[in-house]
Structure 1
């Protein structure tokens, strides 16, 4: 009976560990943010609906857009033209070029006279993200003819996520530097990504850059988000600066976070501060009320503690050795690496502050719940506004988007 209970607790603990370290992959690349966190799930649903509505008319629509997007054409690119193209575009060179030309012409028109309130930047970046077109996304972002087009936190975040996923850390930092010149954009969430890139790169240069980012945040009085804290603390630990790790995570007082707990113990072990680890282990053991509430430690963190014990020359009867043994016997040790839980998936929904103010999104937890200023429009939850439903088919005699002028 006792053995069966122990096996059940071990299985439950393993399930909890897997949920903590869940990951998403795209084209074999591990993603930091889940699709829902980036609004990609909503984008995919809208894409499917539009493609069904256009059916066999998409080629005709493209031919019309090639004419309208031409510099010599007097025709305008309307809001719904660009909307529809964003959900019809594929990875072909022709489609990528057409989309860029449409964006440039639309942005040029709207710099002189803006009719609608649709925020295109995040949806464009979701399109590039969905198609895994990181080079096209970066080129559009840097195109001087699209200046201001991507001045939204979510647009920066989506681009930076693509660069992070592809390991293009220098370009990731360059985009972050550009963001710092935009006083209207909150840097908190993009800071997670730039520090995640530094953590993943794990070099002296990335450590230096991360330290500069951290000091700038502190000077400005900005409180970093918890994931920013853990990425920077983890980088400092990996770069042989455990004293920085201890100081950084002191801003997070909740010991129940598995990353905070493990980082603190690992850093203290590297500093041979075993007496400071003892109370932390006692808390974990005293809070053991079953598998669902166990405070766990990763194998590599416990290995650091054991190495510190060996360096200190403590015997088998010492309190810290006894604590480590009890943690192992009571299944407080997981078979997960510390770096893995630091880089675990971020599943929270991302909303651009500008979209929040304008009401251009749904509550992700309650899809049918509208925010106060959404009463008269039809929105979906792909992270930007859908001002009106799409037409069921393309009519070559009636320009799509004409109603935006009415």
Structure 2
């Protein structure tokens, strides 16, 4: 039993190490255009956040409205006072001209007004939600983003998973794991479809919180993700690490079995259901050395999955 356990633990660590090595992300800091290899690992890549792309458009719009920004903002204020219809391109321009927290006040008002006027109108594939969240990302205004994304008056404005994912990523980077969980729950309540990035974020948030409640949330979402076949190896890594931190070693083994080929000899040897009932009982109750091994294993997991202090 002990030999099998040690062999399983060694295989588990080797698999996670290979996965982490292959999928190293570049470091990216909010409000900064420069990427650096070996920086702090964040949960979303630039292909999702698209902050550089957003900032490049901002530079182009700012150049086009050079010396005319104040006039444009005054015109928008007048339009809202007179209850004139706000056009899609006008709101896009306003978002790209926004540079300060004072600018954000007018932008917020314009968003509420625009959504009230167009909540039942379809504009194809374009979504304003990610654009606004990227603006908040750049200006470090995560609280403003949280307020709007949870506001029932804007229900439907943030109808895409990208808006929620970027905001959760921003809160995660800031260490606001409770806030990130609130956004995750809000996303679920609004019926926004989860994608693979969402599950990675969700499991990472739960891992950082490391409570009984977050463990239950993680396991519930894992079951959902498995049904949808939307779990990546990185997501599995967070779920396994959380199970180990909660001393749920049997659950960690069960989760890990999904990473392996279910028909492989290794998976069959490691499957908890193949163990004798007495061994399973001792393993789950921590009466063997496995409980101590789980603490060592969790320490190794932390250094492998989060080598830069994620």
Same fold (TM over 0.5): yes
Checking the alignment, whether the CA contact within 8 Å between 2:165 and 2:198 is kept in structure 1 is yes
Give the secondary-structure state (helix, strand or coil) at the position aligned to 1:37.
helix
1:82 and 2:91 aligned: yes
Checking the alignment, whether the CA contact within 8 Å between 1:32 and 1:343 is kept in structure 2 is no
Give the secondary-structure state (helix, strand or coil) at the position aligned to 1:179.
helix
TM-aligned CA distance change 1:115 to 1:190, over 3 Å: closer
Q: Give, in whole Å, the separation in 1 of the partners of 2:65 and 2:180.
A: 36
Give the deviation of 1:158 after TM superposition: 1.2
Higher relative contact order (CA 8 A, sep 6+): 1
1:99 and 2:107 aligned: yes
Q: Give, in whole Å, the separation in 1 of the partners of 2:191 and 2:31.
A: 35
TM-score, length of structure 1 as denominator length: 0.55
Task: Trace 1:25-40 onto structure 2 (pairs within 5 A).
Answer: 25-26=29-30, 31-40=42-51
Give the deviation of 1:223 after TM superposition: 4.2
1:339 and 2:302 aligned: yes
Task: Trace 1:2-401 onto structure 2 (pairs within 5 A).
Answer: 20=24, 22-26=26-30, 31-70=42-81, 73-92=82-101, 94-111=102-119, 113=121, 118-183=126-191, 185-218=193-226, 220=227, 222-253=229-260, 304=296, 338-343=301-306
Give the CA RMSD over aligned residues. Answer: 3.3
Give the deviation of 1:240 after TM superposition: 2.0
TM-aligned CA distance change 1:49 to 1:193, over 3 Å: same
TM-aligned CA distance change 1:25 to 1:201, over 3 Å: farther
Larger Rg: 1
Checking the alignment, whether the CA contact within 8 Å between 2:200 and 2:235 is kept in structure 1 is yes
Q: Deviations over 1:106-134 (max 9, x none)?
A: 11111355567632111111111121210
Q: Quote the residue 1:379 is aligned against.
A: none
The structure with the greater share of residues assigned to helix is 2
Checking the alignment, whether the CA contact within 8 Å between 1:23 and 1:344 is kept in structure 2 is no
Q: Give, in whole Å, the separation in 2 of the partners of 1:341 and 1:69.
A: 53
Give the deviation of 1:208 after TM superposition: 3.0
Q: Deviations over 1:190-244 (max 9, x none)?
A: 12111111112233332233223324445x5544222221111111122222222
Deviates more, 1:128-137 or 1:178-187: 178-187
Q: Give, in whole Å, the separation in 1 of the partners of 2:65 and 2:148.
A: 26
TM-score, length of structure 2 as denominator length: 0.70
Number of residue equivalences: 254
Q: Deviations over 1:83-120 (max 9, x none)?
A: 1111111232x211111111111111113555676321
Give the secondary-structure state (helix, strand or coil) at the position aligned to 2:29.
strand
Checking the alignment, whether the CA contact within 8 Å between 1:24 and 1:32 is kept in structure 2 is no
TM-aligned CA distance change 1:242 to 1:43, over 3 Å: same
